[in-house]
Amino acid sequence: MLLSEQAYKLIDIELAKYPEDQRQSAVMSALRIAQTEKGWVSPEVIDDIAKYIGMPAIAVQEVATFYNMYDLKPVGRFKVTVCTNLPCALREGEKTLDYLKEKLGIDVNETTPDGLITLKEGECMGACGDAPVLLVNNHHMCVRMSRERIDEMLEDIRKEGQA
């Protein structure tokens, strides 16, 4: 087993939500739990989840590669994803991404040299009216992100990264 006892307990809670013959329905939650604990989803973790749930590893791999919230390679402690779908692109999404690239000195799918921040480009986050929209670590949505608000967010991330 590659995950902590606590992680398997959380996966068990998710598995309990489904009938025994539909255990595969908990795969997305299991991947989320594993990624939260490990920081990313390695091939070994995918195999482990498959065995634990009782489904083929390729089926877990298909889910992990289909959805962009799962990281199949190590990322920084903070993953900042910028929505660049058309509605956000029309409301400064592309300029926001360019500003972050400039501020961080990295390109999309790269991590800052200190390992703190990975920059990603994302699909629709369902908040088009609040564009530009950023998502931090798949859980914290930041909306109406002006340059000033981006600078504040980056400062907060750096402070938390030092803690």
Beta bridge partners of 118: 79, 111
Give the β-pairing of 117-122 and 78-83.
parallel
Beta bridge partners of 119: 80, 110
Radius of gyration of the chain (CA): 17
Q: Binding site for [2Fe-2S] cluster, residues?
A: 83, 88, 124, 128
Non-local CB neighbours of 90 within 8 Å, separated by 6+ positions: 131
Q: What are phi and psi of 123, to 5 degrees?
A: -90, 180
Beta bridge partners of 117: 78
Q: Binding site, residues?
A: 83, 88, 124, 128
Q: What is the distance between the alpha carbons of residues 129 and 126, in angstroms, rounded to a whole number? A: 9
